[in-house]
Amino acid sequence: MNVLSPDTALGLDPSRSLFINGTFEPSASSATFATIDPSTERVLGRVARGDTADIDRAVTAAKRAVRGDWLRITPAQRGRLLYMLADVLVARKQELARIETLDVGKPLKESLGDVDGVVATLRYNAGAADKLEGSTIPLGREVIDFTLLEPIGVTAHIVPWNYPLGMLARSVAPALAAGCTAVIKPAEQSPLSALLFAQCCDEAGIPPGVVNVVTGYGEEAGAALVSHSDVAGVTFTGSVETGRLVYQNAARGLKPAVLELGGKNPLIVFPDADLERAVADIVDGAFGNSGQVCSSSSRLLLHRDIHDEFLDRLTQAAGRLTIGPGLDDRDLGPLVSAEQYQRVTGYLDHGRREGARVRLGGGRPPDLPQGYFVAPTILDKVEPAHIVAREEIFGPVAIALSFTTEVEATALANGLGYGLVAGVYTRDIGRALRLAQDIEAGSVWINGWFLGGQQAPTGGVKNSGVGRERGLPGLMNYLRIKNIGIRL
């Protein structure tokens, strides 16, 4: 029996969907779980429900590889294998994107863009593999002292459902480039593309055990992975709540953890800004991937002088967005799951009860009775204390607040426990740079949204996370410094 419906053609037996030591294997318990197509609410396929015993097999394979095949080849050869992997992904791009779209619901064009991002990430890190250099330390003529950068060992990668491939590659690519091996735990809502990624690793010639994938539930497979004594480091992307648990678990084993968590990101618009550009960026930043984006521009802080006119323009532009099943490739797809649909519509009900005005959308589009669809929604008449203004909704919902002074805008921007990204739209460069310094966030974008790429570090402050990914700092998560001193 195929793990998937025929059109997805992954061709796996559900009882053998754990990728361990280069082969697809059954879970020790033989248990499986369903993954759902959010556009139709139908079962897309079943995959193995890995647990502690399976994690142990995967970590053991990764440990063998990190001391064996992966250690024996040169960094340049590692880089070449990552380039090969990127090429395999390019060749299988349509297949990868289709699976991602079926599993997550996102429009096909977004999934194709995600695969492009993964390829770029692999190539960036492939190029860095043989450029990770230590340093020499001047201790005088009697001692030569230098550092080696060593791979930390077996690394755990716990991935969310909103960008399954993208988030996986963001941490796995630098880990492999640094000489580490990886055990990946995909999100239970969207496990399929990780299995295809595993097939691609095999096809590219990545040695067995270097990349392992254990599908399963967070509290079973995920928790077991973080706690495993042979896991040297953890990279987790997901919610603040789970991030805290993961951090506690990692701390018990005294292992480093990178946590990429949620956000409620302020986008501040001053009257002198290029309003057309700001509108276009919000349409993309708040409603792309149906707002299921950690760095979505979900909290609009609009100067009082332009508040009404700006919201009129934004409402018009967002009102033109189309919505439908992922494979129909409209502007928005469904939300990922029934749970996520309940969560987002629950927030909308709460917002209405608190007195928010629905300028656009507000729930399920009437022509889409099936699937987890929520229309692009804009709420105004919201107070900073309202729940919808304070909590991450993680759906296609933008809320608008107004301000009058720069000081007030900064206070609003910094007024929550989150600190992932923020945006400032103004032609006054002095003001932009003052705010960039004063805003508590891992990234501040000026007159643009979703800036940066695989070269630019990303991460949160406050509850939005610990550590940085991407760029050269992202590679350091997988390296430790050894100091060597020689008396002459």
Does residue 132 belong to the site contacting ligand NAD (CB under 6 A)? no
Determine which one of 25, 260, 406, 469 is catalytic. Answer: 260
- Shortest Cβ 127–ligand NAD spacing (Å): 23
201 is catalytic: no
Pair 367, 135: CB distance under 8 Å: no
Within positions 67 to 86, which residues make up the interface with ligand NAD, using CB under 6 A? none
Helix axes 108-128, 93-104, angle to 10 degrees: 120
162 binds ligand NAD (CB under 6 A): yes
Instruction: Find the shortest distance in angstroms from Cβ 335 to ligand NAD.
Output: 11
User: Distance between CA atoms of 175 and 170, rounded to whole angstroms?
Assistant: 9
Contact 210, 201 (CB under 8 A): yes
Query: Annotated catalytic, 294?
Result: yes
**Total residues contacting ligand NAD (rule CB under 6 A)?**
30
Question: What single DSSP character describes residue 464?
Answer: G
In order, the DSSP letters of 205-220 are TPPTTSEEE----III
CB of 313 to ligand NAD, least distance (A): 27
Does residue 392 belong to the site contacting ligand NAD (CB under 6 A)? Answer: yes
Closest CA to 395 of 268, 485, 264: 264
**Given CA atoms 462, 341, 157, 96 in this order, what sign does their dihedral have?**
negative
25, 200, 294, 469: which is the annotated catalytic residue? 294
With contact defined as beta carbons under 8 Å apart, do 226 and 252 qualify?
Answer: no
| One residue of 19, 124, 161, 310 binding ligand NAD per CB under 6 A | 161
Q: Which is nearer to ligand NAD, 158 or 200 (CB)?
A: 158
The residues, ordered by sequence, that sit 6+ positions from 298 with a Cβ below 8 Å of its Cβ are: 263, 264, 265, 286, 291, 392, 393, 397, 398, 399
Among 15, 235, 242, 289, binds ligand NAD (CB under 6 A): 242
Residue 213: beta bridge partners? Answer: 19, 184
The minimum distance between CB 471 and ligand NAD, in angstroms, equals 14
User: Which one-letter DSSP state was computed for residue 221?
Assistant: I
Q: Considering only residues 222, 325, 326, 362, which one is a binding residue for ligand NAD as defined by CB under 6 A?
A: 222
Query: Which of 10, 158, 375, 475 contacts ligand NAD by CB under 6 A?
Result: 158
Residue closer to ligand NAD (CB basis): 160 or 207: 160
Q: Is 260 in the site for ligand NAD (CB under 6 A)?
A: yes
In this structure, the number of other CB atoms found within 10 A of the CB of residue 473 comes to 15
Closer by beta carbon to ligand NAD, 262 or else 324: 262
Residues annotated as catalytic are 260, 294
Q: Give the binding site for ligand NAD (CB under 6 A).
A: 158-162, 167, 185, 187-188, 218-219, 222-223, 226, 237-239, 242, 245-246, 260-263, 294, 392, 394, 420, 460, 465
